[in-house]
């Protein structure tokens, strides 16, 4: 059989001679085949072999408007003819900050940087400066970036993870200094008794609790009812700050992020990915008194902060999302829900145990019969081999998904794409090995 991906494989070999691993982020090397693309438009992508795909990876999340949205293209075209960088003040910065302030409940003040990892590093520093404490409480399975103090207990192995109610903090990378663990407390997510226990022990030392408000990086697991609200009251009781890492949920679950959706306002929040529709930008925002620590001794900077191209893209993206009280984002979430239902139904008909978790515009696939799915350790029972077969089958059918089975929808996915995807899934599910049939 001819190799559908021959062009990508050849380019990967060539790239690997000069680009480490042939990719710009080693996470990307894990896709069934690291594809090389030549074009994209709306919800669709084309690789260098001429294969077309419906795109549910969306650049790992940022492309909330799909590819080459005409209004974003026009914005960038106009902005390209203007100065690309000042490293100084200009009006677009305040225009974007005004939008964040209006949309995001916690955003009394905002700041801009370039990646989610950078935004998380900044809020850790602000929280420590504000409280005069060092410890950060975080949750197992949550991803907050790749820096030394961020990449902890994201993917702990069963031998190293420790007891269920008091996980051992673990390093996730070679080259991380062991003392990265010194100021960390790790808790199981969605487990209030464990959290109360950890707070009674460490509470007075905890500068901040950071959480993905929906655990998108480990199976798109939702917070149990009341969990985020309890987190809010516990942090208040102990004088710790609450940080929502909204790098994925921001401008995806709701215009005002998960904090608006769940009605719980953190002290600080981080944003990235969708904020500028695919142009490089991240942000953090929060309480005035905490944010202003950067004016009184908590260092923060960045050559490209407030870059005009990124600001212009963010302004247009936020305006498109906010039009008609968020109609476009509602649509993206509706399409995601339609797809979830269709995939679950197709699996049931094929006799495959498939469950989806998350919300419309970001959900994940789990080949499992295990219940409940509420924290990282529950994912041990997912049949990952079957997921890989499914992903590969879908790729061959022209559906591009992320390697961990996460599915993103955008404002330009419509019923046609959803129906086409469900049709492809039906075909693939029926071919999956019988081993997983229930």
Ligand X SMILES: Cc1ncc(COP(=O)(O)O)c(C=O)c1O
Report, as residue numbers or ranges, the catalytic residues. 143, 245, 273
- Alpha-carbon gap, residue 419 to 402, rounded angstroms: 19
- Alpha-carbon gap, residue 279 to 312, rounded angstroms: 9
Q: Which is nearer to ligand X, 115 or 409 (CB)?
A: 115
- Alpha-carbon gap, residue 186 to 352, rounded angstroms: 35
> Is the distance from CB of 407 to CB of 401 less than 8 angstroms?
yes
> Is the distance from CB of 165 to CB of 200 less than 8 angstroms?
no
> Is the distance from CB of 393 to CB of 432 less than 8 angstroms?
yes
Q: Which is nearer to ligand X, 281 or 418 (CB)?
A: 281
Q: Which is nearer to ligand X, 190 or 383 (CB)?
A: 190
Q: Which is nearer to ligand X, 203 or 266 (CB)?
A: 266
Q: Which residues contact 320 (CB under 8 A, 6 or more apart)?
A: 65, 69, 71, 72, 277, 328, 411
The structure tokens listed for 280 are 């490089």
Element (H, E) at 40: strand 37-41
Query: Hey, is 280 helix, strand or coil?
Result: coil
Give the interface with ligand X as residue ranges (CB under 6 A): 115-117, 120, 143-145, 212, 217, 245, 247-248, 272, 282
Min dist CB 303 to ligand X, Å, is 17
Min dist CB 384 to ligand X, Å, is 19
Q: Which residues contact 241 (CB under 8 A, 6 or more apart)?
A: 127, 130, 131, 207, 208, 209, 235, 266, 267, 268, 290
The structure tokens listed for 52 are 């077309």
Min dist CB 27 to ligand X, Å, is 9
User: What residue number has its CB nearest to ligand X?
Assistant: 116
The helix/strand count (H/E) of the chain reads as: 11, 14
Min dist CB 86 to ligand X, Å, is 23
Q: Which is nearer to ligand X, 42 or 257 (CB)?
A: 257
Min dist CB 323 to ligand X, Å, is 26
Phi/psi zone of residue 64: left (φ > 0), alpha (ψ -120 to 50 degrees), beta?
A: alpha
Number of residues that this document lists for the chain: 438
The structure tokens listed for 356 are 């989806």
Q: Which is nearer to ligand X, 128 or 406 (CB)?
A: 406
Q: Which is nearer to ligand X, 42 or 213 (CB)?
A: 213
Best CA proximity match to 249, nearest among 226, 272, 281, 224: 272
- Alpha-carbon gap, residue 394 to 43, rounded angstroms: 16
Min dist CB 212 to ligand X, Å, is 5
For the chain, give the longest Cα–Cα distance. Answer: 65
Beta strands in 101-140 (DSSP E): 109-113, 135-139
Min dist CB 231 to ligand X, Å, is 16
Min dist CB 229 to ligand X, Å, is 20
> Is the distance from CB of 360 to CB of 335 less than 8 angstroms?
yes
**Residue 267 DSSP symbol:** S
- Alpha-carbon gap, residue 216 to 360, rounded angstroms: 12
Q: Which is nearer to ligand X, 311 or 350 (CB)?
A: 311
- Alpha-carbon gap, residue 119 to 117, rounded angstroms: 6
């Amino acid at each position: 059989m001819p190799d559908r991906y021959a062009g990508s494989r050849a380019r990967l070999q060539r790239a690997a001679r000069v680009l480490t691993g042939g990719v710009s982020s080693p996470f990307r090397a894990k896709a069934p085949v690291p594809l090389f693309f030549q074009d994209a438009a709306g919800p669709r992508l084309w690789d260098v072999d001429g294969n077309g795909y419906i795109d549910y990876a969306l650049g790992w999340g940022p492309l909330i408007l799909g590819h080459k949205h005409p209004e974003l293209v026009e914005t960038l075209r106009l902005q390209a003819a203007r100065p690309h960088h000042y490293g100084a003040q200009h009006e677009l910065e305040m225009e974007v900050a005004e939008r964040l302030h209006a949309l995001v409940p916690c955003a009394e003040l905002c700041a801009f940087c370039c990646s989610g990892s950078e935004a998380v590093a900044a809020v850790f520093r602000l929280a420590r400066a504000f409280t005069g404490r060092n410890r950060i409480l975080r949750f197992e399975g949550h991803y907050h970036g790749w820096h030394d103090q961020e990449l902890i207990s994201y993917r702990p192995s069963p031998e190293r993870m420790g007891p269920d109610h008091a996980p051992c903090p673990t390093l996730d990378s070679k080259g991380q200094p062991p003392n990265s663990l010194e100021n960390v407390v790790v808790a199981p997510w969605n487990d209030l008794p464990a959290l109360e226990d950890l707070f009674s022990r460490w509470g007075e030392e905890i500068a901040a609790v950071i959480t993905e408000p929906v655990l998108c990086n480990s199976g798109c697991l939702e917070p149990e009812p009341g969990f985020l609200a309890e987190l809010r009251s516990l942090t208040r009781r102990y004088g710790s700050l609450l940080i929502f890492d909204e790098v994925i949920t921001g401008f995806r679950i709701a215009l005002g992020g998960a904090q608006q959706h769940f009605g719980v306002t953190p002290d600080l929040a981080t944003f990235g990915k969708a904020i500028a529709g695919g142009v490089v930008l991240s942000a953090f925002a929060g309480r005035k008194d905490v944010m202003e620590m950067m004016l009184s001794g908590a260092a923060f900077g960045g050559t490209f902060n407030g870059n005009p191209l990124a600001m212009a893209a963010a302004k247009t993206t936020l305006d498109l999302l906010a039009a008609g009280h968020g109609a476009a984002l509602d649509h993206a979430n509706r399409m995601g829900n339609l797809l979830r239902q269709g995939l679950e139904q197709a699996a049931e008909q094929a006799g495959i145990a498939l469950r989806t978790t998350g919300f419309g515009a970001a959900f994940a696939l789990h080949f499992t019969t295990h219940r409940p799915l509420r924290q990282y350790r529950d994912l041990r029972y997912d049949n990952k081999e079957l997921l890989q077969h499914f992903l590969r089958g879908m790729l061959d059918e022209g559906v591009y998904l992320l390697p961990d089975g996460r599915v993103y929808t955008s404002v330009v996915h419509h019923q046609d794409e959803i129906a086409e995807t469900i049709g492809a899934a039906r075909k693939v599910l029926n071919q999956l090995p019988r081993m997983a049939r229930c």
